[in-house]
A and B are shown apart, each in its own frame.
Chain A
Amino acid sequence: MFLKRSMNRIIGIVLLLIGTTFSALGQDKGIAYKIVGKDLYCSIDRSLPQSQIDSLLGTCDIDFNNLEAMLRSGESSADHWQVEAIEPHRIVLKKPLKSLTGKAGNQKDLIVLLNEEIESTVEDYRFGYNMFHKPAVIELDNGLTRFFLKVEGGKPHGIFISGTFNEWSTSANPMEPCDSGYYVDLKLGVGPHYYKYIVNGYWLLDPRNQLKESDWEGNENSVYFKCNYTFRLKGYTNANRVNLAGSFNDWNDNRFTLRRVPGGWQRKCYVKEGTHAYKYVVDGEWILDPDNPVKRDDGAGNQNSFMSVGDSIVFYYPRDLDARFVVLSGSFNGWNAEELRMQKTDSGWVLPYVLAAGNYEYRFRVADKIEWQMDPLNPISSGPYETKNSVVSVKANHHFFFPRTRGVDELILTGDFNGWNEHGYYMERRADGWHADLYLPKGKTRYKFIVDGKWIKDPSNPLFEPNEYDGYNSVIWVK
């Protein structure tokens, strides 16, 4: 009897501790943990929707309907959880700390779990421009970009440039001496490039570059934009200041100032591929680009100038020439059913459209037809049969191939690029096998083929790694 009363007191103290401490913890909503002695306690908030409570209990291998019975009997779940208390506002479970399930086999696998939510992110720039104290990076006529570093003092015994353009290699790009410093010529793609110099093993920001970005690891890197567009405004030579505002810089009218040139204003910059709206701001007054005939209404009665960067794809739909209209709709415009009306020609409906590199799904909406039409000329598609879409890859950089296999009528390619969708991409059947061209982003891509419902790795790719299903995924690295 004494023992029981003492136990009740101990439990009471423990629950009090849990109640007072849990609210302060920044953790998954509605669930809180605490170690008391050698036991792990778990408190589940009963004000949550029942489905969430069921789900949280499920992570402890406990059925809500068995709670009362487990409390009475003191029985444990398969994962060693016991029901400690059922209160109006919470359910408290406990298990011995020693009974954490499974044995860790590899500390690094565990540690990456800890950081999965704080992985560093590289900003996806839509727009950018350079800011240097003194010239340090110049574009050469041969298309290469020259980086120059002035080095004071003695002759360094090793000087390199390292950046996103060479996967931050510390040795791939040594710099050559010139009369006043060191230089290296690199072939860069359009867009932002993060970089640093390495002098005698020491990392160095570009001292002449004002533009720096945190790498989210506690350090900074210099940033250089390889430009792809020049904004020009003729005239307005008496103006004091001409700024540019557009959809690419969140219509900020106070950041990007054009430079005065004979007969007007201009400045180079980087603009991400795609179609963008913009206006000039001349001494505070917003004006359309007088030399750009492409103007559209923003839906609120305001006109904006529009510009496009990138290659134009011509979408073509050869059927329903007697229809009143045909609209192109896809993942690139949020499946907007009205926006992109196609132009009628003698042979079909066409629409040139600029898209950034990527893989996109689309269909054609034909007036008076309920069902949206797939592209009859495009063999690559995605999705379950009833909701299949055509797929177009812009700037495709990888060709997938699977050899012809007797008795196989369709072949599906799936991987990181489509969220491991078991319904696609459906590949194109040719005489020698199945083909598909896709755009793959920089970095690692894992993929598999689905052949007659069987998931198999690419037989022609020597790079593969184990997955959590006791099988293997094929691996491609795009540099």
Chain B
Amino acid sequence: MLCSISLWGGKPPEPSFSSGAYNQRLIMQRPVPKGDFQHMVIPFKRVGNLIIVEATVDGIRGNFIFDTGAPYLVLNATYFRNYKEEEGHIATDVTGKLNTQRTTEVERLKVMGMYYENLEADVSDLSTIENKRGIQVLGLLGVNLFMRMEIEINLQDEQLIVYRIDREGRRLEQPSYRMEGDYHKSFELRNNAIIASGTIAGQSLNFCFDTGAEALLLDNDLDEEVYTEMRIVRRSTLNGAGGSSTEVLFGALREMEFGPKLKSCQVMIADLEEIGRAYGFPVDGFVGYDLLRMGSVCINFKTKELIVNVFKKEHE
């Protein structure tokens, strides 16, 4: 999920929290999770296809989206607008340009028995997701919070399990354990985005594995073979401030491969060039929920591997 760019056009009269690309300095940080655990089960709630985790920021408890599309912790400007702005840093975005975004520091972020101290965060507008989903969202838990761990996402049981790992990516509590899986898929970490290849209609594409992607999202400038696998159901326009608008096609994709075969995916097609610019490299698409609904997905940030155990019901 991109947090630091948005569709708002023009210059609003109040400070904007939604311009520019991702903050390179925050991307480089690797916060250390503290707490007395080797592994921990974190129950989550589902709203739509989003994964909602309860967390506390400096005593403020609320909903956070577990979002591997976000590179770091993002706080919702509605509630953290008055947090002190980080000073004394020259921030650059992923393209190396001066970054005018607002960053702040939280003293303590706590997720059950796991906590982080003196953590830097981006402050962005997340009102669209709040309004569309009808829940209060304090922020996004992005990738760098979990990069020192292995994390298992089980949509069926509605739980995340985080494991502490060693330098080789082995679980500290069970170094000899090697996770069996129906599918092992290697990925690349680029600016904290989990990038792995997937295939549609025989065409290999670069996907970002984004747990906040409730549907498959595809760029509108891919090989034409890719579009033969889908039917378009409707066209819509997302209106932003200042008259900006984005044309989006909605449809269904018959099948794609991303480890397992993902069938009957809801798909959206739009111009993703700007999103790619925020990440610092072009992205052909985003996949999230369509993989998570297939099975439990384990992300090991040391071995850079996605391991999928297909849910029995889906498997049979």
Contacts and interface: CB of A to CB of B under 8 A. Distances in A.
Interface of A: 21, 25-28, 31, 33-35, 37-38, 40, 42, 59, 79, 97-98, 100-116, 118-120, 158, 162, 167-172, 198, 200-203, 215, 217-219, 443-444, 446, 462-472, 475, 477
Given A97-B227, A171-B54, A120 B48 contact: yes
Nearest to A114: B215
B188 interface: no
Most chain-B CB neighbours within 10 Å: which of A35, A103, A172?
A: A103
B238 A110 contact: yes
Nearest to A198: B43
Contacts of B46: 215, 217-219
A111 B268 contact: yes
Nearest to A457: B14
Interface in B210-246: 210, 212-215, 217, 220-221, 224, 227-228, 230-242, 244-246
A446 B131 CA distance: 10
Contacts of B14: 464, 466, 472
Interface in B225-273: 227-228, 230-242, 244-250, 266, 268-273
Nearest to A477: B136
Contacts of B161: 201
A27 B1 contact: no
Given A105-B7, A203-B158, A444-B131, A34 B231 contact: yes
Contacts of B213: 107, 111
B239 A468 contact: yes
| Contact-residue bracket for chain B | 35 or more
Contacts of A103: 246, 271-274
Nearest to A41: B232
A202 B234 contact: no
A114 B47 contact: no
A33 B136 contact: no
A443 B2 contact: no
Q: Report, nearest first, the 4 A-B pairs whose CB atoms are least far apart.
A: A201-B41, A102-B246, A112-B132, A465-B127
Contacts of B40: 201
5 contacts: A33-B234, A100-B248, A113-B236, A162-B43, A465-B127
A466 B76 CA distance: 12
A63 to B, nearest CB: 18
B127 A466 contact: yes
Given A105-B7, A466-B18, A100 B269 contact: yes
B45 A119 contact: no
A38 B130 CA distance: 35
Contact of B48 (A27, A115, A172, A467): A115
A98 B250 CA distance: 15
Interface stretch (B24-32, B77-85, B164-172): B77-85
Contact of A217 (B47, B82, B132, B278): B47
Contacts of A467: 241
Interface string B138-171: 0000000000000000000111010000000000
Contacts of A110: 217, 238, 246, 248, 268, 270
A33 B235 contact: yes
B49 interface: yes
B69 interface: yes
A112 B42 contact: no
A166 B8 CA distance: 34
